[in-house]
Structure 1
Amino acid sequence: MKDASPRTIYLKDYQAPDFAIDTTQLYFDLYEDYSEVTARLVISRSAENVVPQLVLDGQDLKLLSISINDCELAKDAYEIGEETLTLNFDKVIVEGFSQQNFILETKVRIEPQNNTSLEGLYKSRTMFCTQCEAEGFRKITYYLDRPDALSEFTTRIYADKSRYPVLLSNGNPVASGDLDGGRHWAEWHDPFKKPCYLFALVAGDLVAVDDEFKTQSGRDVLLRIFVEEKDRDKCDHAMRSLKNAMRWDEDVYGREYDLDIFMIVAVDDFNMGAMENKGLNIFNTSCVLANEKTTTDAGFQRVEGVVAHEYFHNWSGNRVTCRDWFQLSLKEGFTVFRDEEFSADMGSATVKRVEDVSLLRTNQFAEDASPMAHPVQPSSFIEISNFYTLTIYEKGAEVVRMIRTLLGPALFRKGSDLYFDRHDGCAVTIEDFIAAMADVSGRDFSHFMLWYQQAGTPKLKVTGDYNQTEKTYTLKVQQSCPATPESATKKPFLIPLDAALIGEQGRIAPSKVLEVSKEQETFVFHDVAERPVPSLLRGFSAPVNLDFAYSLDDLTRLMARDDDGFCRWDASQKMAIQVINNVIVSLANDPAPTVDKRYLDAFGEVLNQAITSLKNNDQTLDLAMIALMLQLPSEEYIAQQHSVVDVDSIHHARARVKRKLATTWYEEILAGYEYLNVPEIFAVDAASIARRTLKNTLLSYLVTSGREQAIDICALQLATATNMTDEIAALTALTHSASRYAVDQKGAALASFYSKWSDEALVVNQWFAVQATAPLPTTLNQVEELMKHPAFDANNPNKLRALVAGFCMRNPIAFHERKGKGYRFLADQIIQLNARNPQIAARLLTPLTRWRNYDEQRQGLMREQLKRISVTPKLSKDVFEVVTKSL
């Protein structure tokens, strides 16, 4: 680590900058073994009083020259620190110099080709590109690298024309030309002031796929997606998604795009999914490239969601940006909410809601229960990169959703309009966003702000009582929240609890939002004619854990009669967890425990409902929802229901329940599969995706049965699949099967798949992930062998996410092997990555941070690896913060 004690930054210490950078002119000379960056900054003093210094951020820069008002500075007028450039104004001897307004020009040399951190300016294979959020711009030039320093940028790029025929930056193109020696240049101007984290540059040998969009005011906008020539045929879906997002943002939020051109560039080496740089979005290839042969349905949906997310940032993040990084959820939480609503409108709203809640409850709730728990608006951090978390994004989106629930759609839209209009061109805070909502509604949000200020997942313990004489049903609600690192005690949250009552034939009382604001509350429903089952947290109205003592019969009623799609699905999950937990208890004394018949029957009823729908060609039944209801909860989510995670028992109990379902309903599952496994024209629409989802869910059950017929069916689907969704589903089912009959086929299947797709990097990543997530005792050995494979590149984040994160984060039974081999493997990767790419190293640490959740033996083994990482020489701030908080 560079500092013995990394500095903690606190929200309470925020101070506005003493200086503003009014305009920024950048000149990039790009070469193969170095690049030079000249920055010409028009600076003005924003502080009332004269100050002695100006401190600029800079990292890994070699200063070549520095001047003020075109006069070179004497060496004693500035100091170069490890991560700063300080101007000492009392030693600046320049005629007519005034702090009120001056021009600072610096020229630095950097080495993008050696920048493995993938922050700042770096090379991805043969392409120059940038990633400046959160603090990457300081690796490009000396600057006020903070989000509240907004400037108007002009960028000129010089490069070899044969190697880099395409030169891009933010804004609109201004001019271009050729130079001697085979070089050329291009200049871009962004008329909208922005912080430097939104700066972007790309130089490469790329082709453009073009389209256009006419805004609601009649302006024509050129849309361009830049890719390598080999990927030209994978842009159509992203372009459709972009145009749909632009139209949706106009229709739903009244927000029109503001530049003449909108560009996306696909980059293979990228730490994140994508980046919303003004007018020039830089995307991980996995989030923009898609076609039916190489991309799964989940991949298509991800592209649609990420394209929309980054486009929506044009207003919620760019036109209105963050004052400081403690406000990160101001843009990310709000924009995730917007992209979720967009995707819901593009497909099945219920299915989208279930998918979003599944991610939140499985991963963000686990984050809330870990040493890395933090509020949506953190109060401090050491390394801001560690706070690009599910709490900031997904929980932040849920907080925005609760605001809309409390206000209703019309007032929420008025509030967002006021927020955008009031703060256009400004760097603002979460409090500013909330103030707009309060001003349009007249509502006091001071209590609600606890959702931003307190960490942890609240728990609602609810009991119900039916009074047959008075025809009333009473709900008693008690809320609590576990201790988290920032606070052992919590104030009660304001929780919108959407509730309804379900009778024998369906809903018997109107749905209403109950506002739970105290530790204990009582709510009474009147004129209730029969004993109901409460439908609680409808639509997942708040990010909380719900504790209600549902019986299996209660859950059966909700699955069959509830008109809230989320609650129907949630009832299926609760029923499955009850049954799996009963099997876990029984496994202690019985190697072959029974599975409750009521659950088997409920599963069969849902399955037969789908088969009847297929037979009758009924288009009204949501097959994607049926597929979700038939799927068992993940081992990771089941683990969260246990105070001490018994990895082995959870895995074996879940596997036993799935096998029992597969064997009990084998013929029906096979019939449903055969109805769905028919030739069809590939389409990426909700109905087609639903049919494939259900078909492959049924295929998974068939293979789980272990029957040779099922393995043969799976192998046939793999061999004849005409789209990647069906192909990867079959490969996964075959590879993950423990059946001896499958073992004889999977090696050849994996080899054949790789041979077929070896030229498609994103498909090879899926191949890595399928093997890394196989819940088998030999998987770690397989992963270690795959790390030597020619297609694996330890410097590529996508490869690391597929193979290393796939094994460590999505394969609990193999990763948590009792001797701790998985823990040592992960620690080895983190220690190696610490020097190359600290961001990815810190993110991979997540499984080890949750060591307290496991049995004593595993706790000791995980702590041992955390301590081993902690004594690594030159530990990065990213890894240091996570390790020290975890220990």
Structure 2
Amino acid sequence: MADSRTSTITPPETKYLKDYRAPDFQIEQVTLVFDLREGVTHVRATSQVRREGAADAVLRLDGHDMTLMSVAVDGVRLTADQYQLEDHHLTLPHVPDQFELTIENEFDPAQNTALEGLYVSKGMYCTQCEAEGFRRITYFLDQPDVMATYRVRIEADKTAYPVLLSNGNNIEQGDLADGRHYVVWDDPFPKPSYLFALVAGDLAVLEDHFTTRSGAPVTLRIFVAPEDLDKCPHAMDSLKKAMVWDEQVYGLEYDLDIFNIVAVSHFNMGAMENKSLNIFNTKCVLAKPETATDGDFAAVEAVVAHEYFHNWTGNRVTCRDWFQLSLKEGLTVFRDQEFSADMGSRAVKRIEDVRILRQHQFAEDSGPMAHPIRPDSYMEINNFYTVTVYEKGAEVIRMIHTLLGPEKYRQGIDLYFDRHDGQAVTCDDFVAAMEDASGVDLRQFRLWYSQAGTPEVTVSQSYDAAAESLTLTFRQMTPDTPGQTDKKPLHIPMAVGLIGPDGADIPLQLDGENAPDDVATTRLLSLTGSEQSFTFVGVKEPVVPSLLRGFSAPVKLKSDLTAADRLFLLAHDSDSFNRWEAGQEIAAGLIMELVDDIAAGRPLHLDDGFSSAMGKVIGDLDLDRAFKAEVLSLPSEATLGQYRSPVDVDAIHQARKFVRHALAATHETALQSIYNACQTTGFYAFTPQAVADRRLKNVCLSYLMTQETPAVFTQSMAQFSNADNMTDEIAALSCMVNSAFSETRDAVESFYAKWRDDDLVLDKWFSVQAAVSKPETQDLMRRLIQHPDFDWNMPNRVRSVVGPFCGQNLTCFHDKSGRGYAFLGDVIEKLDPINPQIASRLVQPLGRWKYYDADRQKLMKATLERILALPNLSENTYEIVSKSLK
């Protein structure tokens, strides 16, 4: 299907939050009839329309890539001179104040490679309407503050499409002539058009049941391709866990008789929360031990929960406009993070979330696409489904939870639903409910919604032995970002503790306060000024501050802690996150010192203190294995690249590789011992302990493989060949492909032969190869996109190749020759006409060109300019590239 495209001469229109105005018309009820036939789909949409604006306002409907057949008002068909048809709009200049509008149109979903609106995936009809996909189905007021009830009739061939699904309840079905049949669905809850969904296909179903705490029965169904039915039980279990959790933690019950999930192989996103009919990327719903890793199992659990939680935080209360996207996404990500923390290890979950935030969101905050969690403007809304809106948005909700406390936070959530159930509202409405329920003043805190960039907080300490006091002085600043300068101080919650020489936390009392009734050892400080000091009294001897416990705010923290202080925190901090953080800071500092040594031509040497500290972690038999695996995992190259500019890609890679090799050489016996101790026996189990065992075992294997000895390669090959689960199989393969052993090629080929018929596992095969940090990977990338199993129309397949190469394999992507940049330019040129959403997301690594040396800057900028000059470049990619070049 053709796409909304623009030339590079005339930029697409920019939409601004300040220009928002309520729609002049509302649509109260919609009746849709779909006639699905080979080569063409006919849609009849009948809407009950009511004027709410000025008497002379015209009705302007959105529409893309369809053939208009007829328009009727109150049953009277309009002539061509009674409406105006443009590329993207249908305008009716003269309509009554209340009327029935009937529109008929046609299009071919099979030609829709953009995967927005109604399209075909492996012979199955499915939809993706968020953010603006419904306008590709029929002409409509396609914006989230237009909420209507929907009744949908679907007609199709019964043999080819025995399953016909839409939102709500199935109220009627029957047979038609010529082997066709129909089903009618009715959704009693008003919803915006972006939550509309339709699926038609030959699907198998896993069915289960759930009874809400008030006694209402709910039928649960997961629809998949028949060959995938055995991969659904984990998703079903995850759904039921999420339903119980939402009742227990938020008091929220499901509100319909049925909840359906459908797994789709061609999908731009992870999943979509359409009311009662969630549509999922297969990657986020299918899992069994032989084909899915522990990470896949965890992702399925989290995404299933996320989309279910949207039933209230997104569906029952939705966003007024797309600038408010974080209203539903930030809140729901926070909810799914807390759910996952309760299902597994809270400490490890927090570490995982912060790692993602730092590696991806902090980078976004410092790049050309930096924006607040509530953006001020956009050209293409699909470009703002970002880590800032989602992950930083979740951190903002977490800070509200921290400032209010669990009880008042829950009161605020309850008030939010009481006030706004069934409405389309704003981020300000959410914060107002929190303020009103708790009595906490959040006026300054609101700046987190409108101010872009990552705040930088500097902390210094001063101990007064005579006064037995410790003063912590905080300074905050937020760097300039595109379109925003002269940032104001934010309200930053800073959780701190003080650790005495014996390694124990001491009770905290601020100067001027009465002695607290309890002996709290973590204190929440509110930073509201550019510079602010807090003095703790009763500090009888020097202590080590534990700052930003639990990562209580999404900031970059700098302090005057010494290397010895951080080693002390690594050994003793009671806050698991800060204990891990101390190790990461030590490792990052050490690696960056080695980067300097490489630049100066000095020989490399592993710091004895760091090696000893890591040895203690390795040898600590009482330390939780999941946490131990996190401590042993060094900061990624992408994270290290944020420490200074220009980024020395090659030196960072060499220094980090040296540290891993040196640690492995020093502690080889202990690492091997842990590897042996973590071997699991019996059937696979997705339990916290079993996951921790596999994680730690494979971290140890990755260290041991840095030695490249025949013995450890044989060990890796044995794990690869004998594994009964994908976690161990792909981990071993990942270790081997980075080695110099020729037998690795046999392993790569045997993996392909074994899994070539499983799309999701084959994606892993592509990804493992794209992440190999060797010069020959440059040529391999060209071969991978020419491989018979590579498909430009499958977002998962494209991401599996381009994502690891450009986002993880930094030495290859940033090769001085510029071949990596040229490769990405070629990919975007090919992909943009097919799927602009995916193209605009994959092009973004080029946007950080200013952070590299002059030669790389020139090559990256030239690639961006080449892309910008492409004829008919999509609005999606145009926005990213044009902003990157500023």
Paired position in structure 1 for 2:467: 470
CA distance in 2, matches of 1:13, 1:598: 58
Paired position in structure 1 for 2:650: 648
CA distance in 1, matches of 2:6, 2:697: 54
Q: CA deviation at 1:789?
A: 1.5
Paired position in structure 2 for 1:84: 89
Given candidates 54, 57, 65, the residue that maps to 2:62 is 57
Paired position in structure 2 for 1:383: 380
| SS of alignment partner, residue 263 of structure 1 | strand
Paired position in structure 1 for 2:285: 288
2:676 is the alignment partner of 1:671: no
CA distance in 2, matches of 1:474, 1:243: 49
Comparing 581-590 with 809-818, greater Cα deviation is found at 581-590
| SS of alignment partner, residue 805 of structure 1 | helix
Q: CA deviation at 1:530?
A: 2.0
What is the identity, as a one-letter code, of the residue corresponding to 1:394?
E
Paired position in structure 2 for 1:618: none
- Contact 1:507/1:561 (CA < 8 Å) preserved in 2? no
Alignment of 1:298-447 (within 5 A): 298-447=295-444
CA distance in 2, matches of 1:16, 1:355: 40
Paired position in structure 2 for 1:545: 556
Comparing 459-468 with 164-173, greater Cα deviation is found at 459-468
2:690 is the alignment partner of 1:688: yes
Alignment of 1:784-795 (within 5 A): 784-795=782-793
Alignment of 1:150-161 (within 5 A): 150-161=147-158
Given candidates 843, 858, 864, the residue that maps to 2:856 is 858
What is the identity, as a one-letter code, of the residue corresponding to 2:428?
E
Q: CA deviation at 1:5?
A: 2.7
Q: Show CA shifts across 1:35-88 (max 9, x none).
A: 1111000111122x3124100000001001111111111211101011000002
Structure 2 unaligned spans of 5+: 508-520
Given candidates 556, 579, 584, the residue that maps to 2:590 is 579
Alignment of 1:475-874 (within 5 A): 475-504=472-501, 505-509=503-507, 510-590=521-601, 592-609=603-620, 612-613=621-622, 621-737=623-739, 740=740, 742=741, 744-874=742-872
Paired position in structure 2 for 1:142: 139
What is the identity, as a one-letter code, of the residue corresponding to 1:633?
P
Count of paired positions: 865
CA distance in 1, matches of 2:604, 2:11: 54
Q: Show CA shifts across 1:164-200 (max 9, x none).
A: 1100000010111111111111110000000000000
2:455 is the alignment partner of 1:451: no
Given candidates 6, 14, 22, the residue that maps to 1:8 is 14
Given candidates 49, 72, 75, the residue that maps to 2:80 is 75
CA distance in 1, matches of 2:713, 2:613: 26
What is the identity, as a one-letter code, of the residue corresponding to 1:438?
E
What is the identity, as a one-letter code, of the residue corresponding to 1:606?
V
What is the identity, as a one-letter code, of the residue corresponding to 1:359?
I
Given candidates 166, 190, 211, the residue that maps to 2:163 is 166
Paired position in structure 1 for 2:518: none
Q: Show CA shifts across 1:749-778 (max 9, x none).
A: 000011111111100000100000111111
Q: CA deviation at 1:589?
A: 3.5
Q: CA deviation at 1:269?
A: 0.2
Paired position in structure 2 for 1:186: 183
2:29 is the alignment partner of 1:31: no
**TM-score, length of structure 1 as denominator length:** 0.97
What is the identity, as a one-letter code, of the residue corresponding to 2:642?
Q
Q: Show CA shifts across 1:373-420 (max 9, x none).
A: 000111111100000000000000000000010000000000001101
Paired position in structure 2 for 1:95: none
What is the identity, as a one-letter code, of the residue corresponding to 1:508?
I
Q: CA deviation at 1:551?
A: 2.0
Paired position in structure 2 for 1:616: none
CA distance in 2, matches of 1:51, 1:213: 51
What is the identity, as a one-letter code, of the residue corresponding to 1:845?
V
- Contact 1:383/1:881 (CA < 8 Å) preserved in 2? yes
- Contact 2:680/2:690 (CA < 8 Å) preserved in 1? no
Q: Show CA shifts across 1:823-858 (max 9, x none).
A: 011011111111111100100011001101111110
CA distance in 2, matches of 1:746, 1:137: 48
What is the identity, as a one-letter code, of the residue corresponding to 2:170?
P
CA distance in 2, matches of 1:535, 1:644: 31
Q: Show CA shifts across 1:667-711 (max 9, x none).
A: 110111111124233110111100100000000001012222111
- Contact 1:329/1:393 (CA < 8 Å) preserved in 2? yes
| SS of alignment partner, residue 482 of structure 1 | coil
| SS of alignment partner, residue 192 of structure 1 | strand
- Contact 1:463/1:476 (CA < 8 Å) preserved in 2? yes
- Contact 2:365/2:371 (CA < 8 Å) preserved in 1? yes
Paired position in structure 2 for 1:96: none
Q: CA deviation at 1:649?
A: 0.5
Paired position in structure 2 for 1:223: 220
Comparing 780-789 with 643-652, greater Cα deviation is found at 780-789
Residue 460 and residue 769 in structure 1: after superposition, are their counterparts in 2 closer, same or farther (change >3 A)? Answer: same
Identity within the alignment, %: 51
- Contact 1:455/1:486 (CA < 8 Å) preserved in 2? no
Structure 1 unaligned spans of 5+: 93-98, 614-620
- Contact 1:309/1:338 (CA < 8 Å) preserved in 2? yes
Paired position in structure 2 for 1:195: 192
- Contact 2:680/2:693 (CA < 8 Å) preserved in 1? no
RMSD: 0.9
| SS of alignment partner, residue 444 of structure 2 | coil
- Contact 1:205/1:228 (CA < 8 Å) preserved in 2? yes
CA distance in 1, matches of 2:277, 2:374: 28
Q: Show CA shifts across 1:790-843 (max 9, x none).
A: 211111000011001121111101100001100011011111111111100100
| Runs of 4+ with deviation above 3 angstroms | 589-592
Given candidates 36, 41, 44, the residue that maps to 2:47 is 41
Paired position in structure 2 for 1:884: 882
| SS of alignment partner, residue 542 of structure 1 | coil
CA distance in 1, matches of 2:557, 2:303: 30
- Contact 2:671/2:700 (CA < 8 Å) preserved in 1? yes
**TM-score, length of structure 2 as denominator length:** 0.97
Given candidates 253, 256, 267, the residue that maps to 1:256 is 253
| SS of alignment partner, residue 420 of structure 1 | helix
CA distance in 2, matches of 1:883, 1:433: 34
What is the identity, as a one-letter code, of the residue corresponding to 1:534?
P
CA distance in 2, matches of 1:591, 1:792: 45
Q: Show CA shifts across 1:127-149 (max 9, x none).
A: 00000000000000000000000
Q: CA deviation at 1:468?
A: 1.6
CA distance in 1, matches of 2:286, 2:603: 47
